[in-house]
Structure 1
Amino acid sequence: MGPTQNREAQQVNALLQIARAIDALNLNVNRVVIWLVLLATLVSAGNAVVRYAFNTSSNAWLELQWFMFSAIFLLGAAYTLQKNGHVRVDVLYSRYSPRLQIWVDLLGGLLFLIPTCIVIIVTTVPWVTNSIKIMENSPNPGGLPWWPIKLLLPVAIFLLLLQAISEVIKRIAMLTGHLPPTQYIPDEEAEILELKEVVEKKEHP
């Protein structure tokens, strides 16, 4: 490996360390989201029981339920992108070769996802700032403050932006041969490869 290739490898490895840090951040956020799913389910069930059993309700508990559903959706977006689990219009993409799929993801991230995240953050910050300034509350009697859930929007989109940057870094590393394109191997093939590795290790310890 020449000096130029060595320098390139060092640069890519430095970028991959940033990508791993972003992945770890959104993984930890997702662990919080998992608990929110449980809490939202319990609150939703409790609201239903109270409404039908005692013929009463509370705007605060209803809005808490909505807020947690919103938080789950917003905060889970970055982790979903990390796991390549977002919804695709998969008419042509699944027919592409793994390398072409990587190019589609790379260009999609650079040309669409990252710019969109930046636009959303820039346009929502003044809206959120005003909400915090007036300490915006629910117009419903007994409702909750609305500014915290509004604040969550640019925060969640910022996490999504970070994850988009991580995905772009990983796609570049895949195209340059510094990272194997493992996520583009179908689950069945990946399991077969793992089994082969286990067998080979046993045969050649």
Structure 2
Amino acid sequence: MRSLIYIERLFNRFGDLLGWLSSILFVLLLANVTYDVIMRYAFNDVSIAFQEMEWHLFSAVFLLGVPYAIKAGGHVRVDLFYERLSHKAQAIIDLLGTLFFLLPFCLLVTWYGIDFAKESYALGETSGDPGGLPYRWIIKSMIPLSFLFMAISGVGLILHSLNKIFNPHLLHIRSESNH
């Protein structure tokens, strides 16, 4: 069972890396918005590319932040009953929810999202606006990539749930790695 804990820690490190990357992209988004606002209102200069970069960065922050939220337990759930259950019951709910809902959905979006991004790349899709960003396939490829990362975080959640069921005395492992 020690190897199960070690493998969970590897998945947690991957989730932490995605959280770090998402936070760096958020700082870049903040800088982009600040620059865009200053240029627009102080100098009456509008850049379509910078406006599009805002939603590209926002999308990347969100798409890479969700796998981290799954790892950190910050995802949305209905806690009305869940919080009152034992750790073992919570682990069983997390395990079943991940196996039957999270993983199939993530893998489905990943599978179909690859063709979505490949088509954009093959067409050489760019912004429809003059002065917009080229290479729209880059942001479109973030969709299947992020859902693959969510599935990987889901595997980490499965490992955590199994550790809660079979190693209840080691519950502190995941909470320590979340701080």
Q: Does the alignment reach a TM-score above 0.5? A: yes
Runs of 4+ in structure 1 displaced over 6 angstroms? none
State the distance in 1 between where 2:15 and 2:170 align. Answer: 22
2:115 to 122, 126, 140: 126
Q: Does 1:76 align with 2:45?
A: no
Please show how residues 28-177 of structure 1 align to structure 2 within 5 Å. Answer: 28-145=17-134, 146-177=136-167
2: CA distance, partners of 1:184 / 1:75: 20
Matched length = 174
- How many Å separate the matches in 2 of 1:51 and 1:40? 16
SS of the aligned residue for 2:170 comes to coil
| Alignment match, 1:17 | 6
1:119-161 C-alpha deviation (Å, 9 max, x unpaired): 1111111111111112210101111121100011111111110
Shift of 1:17: 3.3
Deviations 1:57-86 (A, max 9, x none): 111001111111110000011111111011
- Kindly indicate whether the alpha-carbon contact (under 8 Å) linking 2:49 and 2:131 is maintained by their aligned counterparts in 1: yes
Decide which moves more: 175-184 or 164-173.
Answer: 175-184
Output the CA distance in 1 between the equivalents of 2:174 and 2:87.
6
- Cα distance, 1:23 vs structure 2: 1.8
Percent identity reads: 30
Q: TM-score, normalised by structure 1?
A: 0.78
CA distance in 2, matches of 1:38, 1:77: 17
Q: Name which one, 1 or 2, has greater alpha-carbon Rg.
A: 1
Unaligned runs of 5+ in 2: none
Question: Aligned Cα RMSD in Å?
Answer: 1.9
Alignment-mate amino acid for residue 95 of structure 2: L
CA deviations on 1:45-66 (whole Å, 9 max, x unpaired) are 1111111112221110011111
CA contact under 8 A between 2:52 and 2:133: conserved in structure 1? yes
